[in-house]
A = this chain, B = another copy of it.
């Protein structure tokens, strides 16, 4: 199919990317063979390699999507949340739902894959660093706003609280891999809210 519209090309790319994301989320980057991706995409090997130069290129594109999705999620949470605690809890809820049935469905499951890869692949590490620094910046802004509104102690370093907030999201997800996410969220959310919101004390 020559001289095809740009939309068509972008759709094909998305088709491959979605298939790959599903495979990678289910099996991990390294346990997924290109044949798996090819099969899941419904295209041929040659076509997949027309859109992505190598498996690493495909992994890079998936990671980019993952990071964009992550930063986008948190940016939206940022808009609608008033407090650091709610930001953390909303983020978890968004990502948890993403674990089930949103368009971001497979991406939350990619988290451990991403961290493994970041240790070995400098390009991915750098992209991750950029994304996560942006995230920490957003969180720090939320902290400063809360401090300005008097809902958070002013002796806390915003960057430190931002790191803590991020850790609270990350940690919950890691734990949910081992323990299952449903049961714990209520207690966890309540604890986070009490610790990060002095008004409740």
Q: Which residue numbers of A lie inside 8 Å of B, CB to CB?
A: 2, 27-31, 44, 46, 109, 111-113, 115-120, 125, 128-129, 132-133, 153, 155-157, 159-161, 163-164, 166-172, 174-175, 177-179, 184, 187-188, 190-192, 194-196, 198, 201
- In the complex, which residues of chain B have a beta carbon less than 8 angstroms from the beta carbon of A112? 112, 115-116, 118-119
- In the complex, which residues of chain B have a beta carbon less than 8 angstroms from the beta carbon of A28? 30, 116-117, 119-120
Q: A2-B44, A2-B46, A160-B188 are in contact. List 16 more A-B contacts (CB 8 A).
A: A28-B117, A28-B119, A28-B120, A30-B30, A30-B31, A112-B112, A112-B119, A132-B178, A157-B190, A161-B191, A163-B171, A163-B187, A167-B168, A167-B170, A170-B174, A195-B195
The secondary-structure label for the interface of chain A is helix
- In the complex, which residues of chain B have a beta carbon less than 8 angstroms from the beta carbon of A30? 28-31
Number of copies: 4
Distance in angstroms between the alpha carbons of A27 and B117 in the assembled complex: 9
Q: Let me know if A125 and B168 touch, CB within 8 A.
A: no
Q: Let me know if B116 and A194 touch, CB within 8 A.
A: no
Q: Let me know if B116 and A164 touch, CB within 8 A.
A: no
Listed from nearest, the 5 A-B pairs whose CB atoms lie closest are A167-B171, A160-B191, A30-B30, A112-B115, A160-B187
Q: With contacts A28-B120, A113-B116, A120-B31 known, is A125 near B194, CB below 8 A?
A: no
| Residue of B whose beta carbon sits closest to that of A109 | B119
